[in-house]
Copies of this chain bind each other. A is one copy, B any other.
Amino acid sequence: MSGHDTESTGPAEREAGRRTPAEEARTLVSSVIVGYLATVGEEGDPWCSLVVYGPTAKGDPVLLVSTMAEHGRNLLHDPRASIAVNDPSAPGDPLDRPRITLAGRAVRPEGDAYEVAFDAHVAAVPGARLYAGWEDFTLWVLEVERIRWVGGFATMDTISQGEYRYAEPDPTQPVAARSIAHLNSDHADGLLLIAREITGARGAVSAYCTGLDRYGIDLACTGAGQSAATRALFDEPLEKAADVRPATVALVQRARAAREAGD
């Protein structure tokens, strides 16, 4: 088993087998539908409000807002806007929670662009079909120009517009939590084998999966009174959620082969 092939995977960050900040950003924006919108009033005063959105294929949030609401009126006279997104289901200290701010200009799409944007919104917010036709509702695409990503305490990055637009949301994100729970409840032996044979935690007596993404899995290993955070990479980046199961099975097989080769 030759291990992880990094030749065709692109940017430097990917060599380390982790999502890039731009991929983290796109994954977060795709996994949530609630954002907080900052707009400015007629006197330039900032106004913050809750919105729901669906992202376009480039990651631009599509909003459907009423001119009866302050943010709807604000956008009509000043299209500058910024949206903050985080996953409130993430456990722990809110300041250690991954989050992102997207800033740019809101535009009103027309013709085909309207249809594409509308589809992006209702894919995330199906209930919007009910009020989309009402006279006071306007569809806006926030064309993202500036991106600030915070991964947690002291983990942050500014992401360029190009990096953001061309990064892919992680296709395994929708099943990651469920897959982690399944691995921990039903495959503790397999995880321990992966920890010992692939991640180099030779003395581990237990291994617990703490993360899963398209590139690999994170393990918390304990043994001999010590603990270590390790990571095992899949043979290649996963392309869809359904790849998680065969890829984790393949990891266990690789670990088993390594043990037999070492015996």
Contacts and interface: CB of A to CB of B under 8 A. Distances in A.
B95 A52 contact: yes
B82 A46 contact: yes
A78 to B, nearest CB: 8
Contacts of A122: none
Contacts of A148: 70
Given A93-B127, A127-B93, A48 B70 contact: no
B50 A103 contact: no
Nearest to A89: B88
Contact of A49 (B44, B81, B101): B101
A43 to B, nearest CB: 9
Contact residues on A (Cβ < 8 Å of other chain), bracket: 20 to 34
Contact of A48 (B33, B34, B48, B97): B48
Interface string A28-44: 00000110111110001
Count identical subunits in the complex.
2
Contacts of A94: 33-34, 50, 52
Nearest to A150: B50
A56 interface: no
24 contacts: A36-B36, A36-B48, A37-B48, A38-B47, A38-B48, A38-B82, A40-B45, A40-B46, A46-B46, A46-B47, A46-B81, A46-B82, A46-B103, A47-B103, A48-B48, A48-B82, A49-B84, A49-B99, A50-B86, A50-B95, A52-B94, A52-B95, A70-B101, A93-B127
Interface of A: 33-34, 36-40, 44-50, 52, 70, 80-84, 86, 88, 93-95, 97, 99, 101, 103, 127, 148
